[in-house]
């Protein structure tokens, strides 16, 4: 962390922050696909299809090909879901970071700077569904700089900002497949308060669960 500086976002960081977010989200496609394969519904559908085709065709080739195509289709569904989320976030949230996060006194966006290169980011703003809380968002650290304490420093920055603004807690949401993020937040004192399936149709089909965490802060 000696050469890492946590500073407020400026407009020149926009393209790098977008790239950082896109790369970070795309990393979760493989684990999300595995999550889909582990679902009982997925396994039941594939098994029924395999057995039905095996019985009717008297051949292993057709059911194997059918299952293979289904697996490829499932992976494309996961890719589509992530691409749709990334596109929506870039358009609505990260397209104008200054407007979204820097105009209000109770919101902010920070980047982690390593020798002039942005290697991490985090933001917060008032939580719409949790009065008295700020919501941590857009946490991301470049893969080459993980394990250096940057994510912890970004978490502490949000917590200190939240306390300084007089809010009592930080909340955040992460997905069931982001196990490293879950470990980080729990290490930083966050407590899991609920789980829920994403509201989008594909998310419900794939049983893609989000986890909500909360960090209660002691006021000085």
Query: Could you report the per-residue pLDDT of 108-122, keeping only the tens digit for each?
Result: 999 999 988 999 999
How far, in Å, are 62, 126, 142, 175 from residue 208 at the CA level? Answer: 30, 25, 24, 8
Phi/psi for 95 (5° steps) reads -70, -30
Residues 6+ apart with CB under 8 A from 144: 119
Nearest to 211 by CA among 35, 76, 56: 35
Distance, CA of 218 to CA of 206 (rounded, Å) = 39
The total domain count for the chain is 1
| Residue 116, domain extent | 1-219
pLDDT (mean) for 204-216: 83
Return the number of other C-beta atoms located less than 10 Å from residue 157's C-beta: 19
Distance, CA of 109 to CA of 94 (rounded, Å) = 10
Distance, CA of 198 to CA of 2 (rounded, Å) = 39
Give the residue ranges of DSSP H helices in 3-142.
Answer: 14-26, 29-37, 40-57, 61-92, 97
**Does the pLDDT at position 69 exceed 80?**
yes
User: In this structure, are residues 17 and 9 in contact, taking their beta carbons and an 8 Å threshold?
Assistant: yes
Q: What is the CATH number of the domain that holds 113?
A: 3.40.630.30
pLDDT at position 1: 60
Distance, CA of 195 to CA of 175 (rounded, Å) = 9
**Does the pLDDT at position 220 exceed 60?**
no
Nearest to 14 by CA among 156, 143, 123, 127: 123
Distance, CA of 5 to CA of 155 (rounded, Å) = 14
pLDDT digits (tens, 9 = 90+) for 3-23: 889 999 999 999 999 999 999
């Amino acid at each position: 962390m000696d050469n890492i500086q946590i500073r407020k976002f400026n407009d020149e960081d926009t393209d790098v922050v977008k790239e950082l977010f896109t790369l970070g989200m795309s990393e979760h496609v493989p684990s999300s696909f595995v999550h889909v394969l582990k679902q009982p519904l997925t396994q039941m559908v594939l098994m029924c299809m395999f057995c039905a085709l095996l019985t009717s065709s008297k051949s292993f080739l057709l059911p194997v090909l059918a299952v293979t195509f289904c697996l490829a289709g499932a992976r494309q569904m996961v890719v589509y879901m992530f691409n749709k989320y990334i596109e929506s976030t870039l358009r609505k949230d990260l397209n104008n970071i200054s407007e979204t996060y820097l105009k209000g006194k109770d919101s902010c966006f920070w980047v982690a700077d390593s020798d002039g290169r942005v290697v991490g980011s985090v933001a917060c703003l008032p939580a719409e569904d949790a009065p008295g809380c700020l919501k941590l968002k857009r946490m991301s650290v470049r893969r080459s700089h993980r394990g250096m304490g940057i994510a912890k420093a970004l978490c502490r920055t949000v917590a200190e900002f939240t306390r300084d603004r007089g809010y009592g807690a930080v909340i955040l949401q992460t997905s069931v497949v982001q196990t490293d993020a879950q470990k980080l937040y729990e290490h930083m004192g966050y407590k899991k308060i609920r789980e829920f399936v994403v509201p989008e149709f594909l998310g419900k089909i794939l049983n893609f669960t989000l986890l909500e965490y909360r960090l209660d802060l002691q006021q000085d």
